Amino acid sequence: MRKLFGYILGIFGLMIYILLVLRLGNAILPHHVVIEMIYYGIAGIGWIFPAMGIIRWWYKVKHPENNQRSS
């Protein structure tokens, strides 16, 4: 159930992030190709950090004491 919620959260979160990046880019950037490429390149990498948090939450162990291997 956690992964399903994570997938849904990730998809909607990414859609909202894309819309915000596009709106902000259209509002503040001049029509200069190089500046736009730099902005969208940085914004394209920027979504990775929140996504890493969601992925870590997906794979978080529920009961760490039960998952340790006996030596």
| 43's tokens | 């914004």
Greater pLDDT, 65 or 4: 4
Q: What pTM value is reported for the model?
A: 0.70
Smallest CA-to-CA distance from 42 within 67, 58, 64, 21 is with 21
Least confident window among 8-17, 24-33, 60-69: 60-69
**Identity (one letter) of the amino acid at 12?**
F
Smallest CA-to-CA distance from 54 within 22, 21, 24, 12 is with 12
